[in-house]
Amino acid sequence: MAHNREWADTTQDITSPTYSRQVPPGEGERFVVVAAGTNEGFIDGSYLCYLAKSNQGDYHGEMNAKLFKQWLTTQLLPSLPGPSVLVLDNAPYHSTLLEESRCPTSATKKADIVRWLEQRRISFRPSATRSELLLICQKNRPERRYEIDNNIREWGHEVVRLPPAHPELNAIEQVWGFMKRHVRSSHRRFTRSDLQDRLEEARLSVTPEVWAGAVRQSRHFEEEYWESDNIRETVEPVIISLASDDEDGEDDLFLESDDDCIL
């Protein structure tokens, strides 16, 4: 959490601690932060911060489905004041499939593929190859249902899953960015305790106004997408047959307007 290049106060002696920040080499220690929030701020009781075991790679290596489920069921869900809608992205630890939703993959043994098809009474040729069996499985893939979604609904809440690669629709991504900027600009001693203190400062700096602004921004992106989708849906397709037997229909190839057409 440090800038690669920074301004240095050259009026100070180079040995002075105020000359510039002494950024240590290497990756250094890091913390993993988990939380949830609304336009009124962080959900009380949902904030979790712990030291990562590794000082390399991103945070995904320090989080898994088991840890996420434990945080969800012991910290977040008991803290929600009433029926809510939880917004989730498609991180792997959010997306463990229920057993009945699993479908054979290219790594599945042929005998297990055959068993999967037989259990669902899906017909196939006894002489079918493994590739052909996989194709039949894909055509009969069950609806995706996730363990986490079931946990959330058991507590009386609903889930909205964002489309892949759309972090702008998730307000907490902007909150994380706000916190990272605070840590990056204020981190000076580069020790574990200093980093933890800066993280706590960053958490406290995320006021309800910051959260409300992040939610408004995400809703703005969402509304723009809905608007653009609706514009596309209003365009009626124009189908032109170039193989018509009607010799008098040649003028149909020329459109009287500049509207978009779909061939």
- Same domain? For 114 and 192 the reply is no
Q: Write down which residue in 115, 141, 167 finishes a domain.
A: 141
pLDDT over 80 at 261, yes or no: no
* 227-249 mean pLDDT: 57
**Average predicted confidence (pLDDT) for the chain:** 82
Instruction: Write down the pTM of the prediction.
Output: 0.71
Parallel, antiparallel, or unpaired: how do β-strands 158-161 and 85-88 relate? parallel
* 201-218 mean pLDDT: 96
- Same domain? For 32 and 80 the reply is yes
Instruction: Yes or no: say if 36 and 43 are a contact pair by the CB < 8 Å rule.
Output: yes
Helix (H, G, I), strand (E, B) or coil at 241: coil
- Same domain? For 81 and 171 the reply is yes
Give me the number of domains the chain comprises: 2
Q: Residue 236's pLDDT is what?
A: 59
* 46-71 mean pLDDT: 78
Q: Residue 200's pLDDT is what?
A: 94
Residue 77, token pair as written in the block: 């869900």
- Which spans in 144-239 are helix H? 147-154, 171-186, 192-205, 208-233
- Same domain? For 76 and 41 the reply is yes
Q: Residue 55's pLDDT is what?
A: 59
Q: Pick the residue with more confidence: 205 or 253?
A: 205
Instruction: Yes or no: say if 137 and 187 are a contact pair by the CB < 8 Å rule.
Output: no
Q: Residue 184's pLDDT is what?
A: 85
Q: ∠ at Cα 174 (76, 69), nearest 5°?
A: 25
pLDDT over 70 at 54, yes or no: no
* 219-235 mean pLDDT: 79
Q: Note down the domain range covering 232.
A: 1-96+149-237
User: Which region holds residue 28: left if phi is over 0, alpha if psi is between -120 and 50, else beta?
Assistant: left
- Same domain? For 165 and 226 the reply is yes
Q: Is residue 229 part of a domain?
A: yes
Q: What is the pLDDT of residues 115-165, one digit of tens each?
A: 999 999 999 999 999 999 999 999 999 999 999 999 999 999 999 999 998
Q: How confident is the model at residue 234 (pLDDT cuts 50, 70, 90)?
A: low
- Same domain? For 170 and 90 the reply is yes
- Same domain? For 125 and 181 the reply is no
- Same domain? For 130 and 227 the reply is no
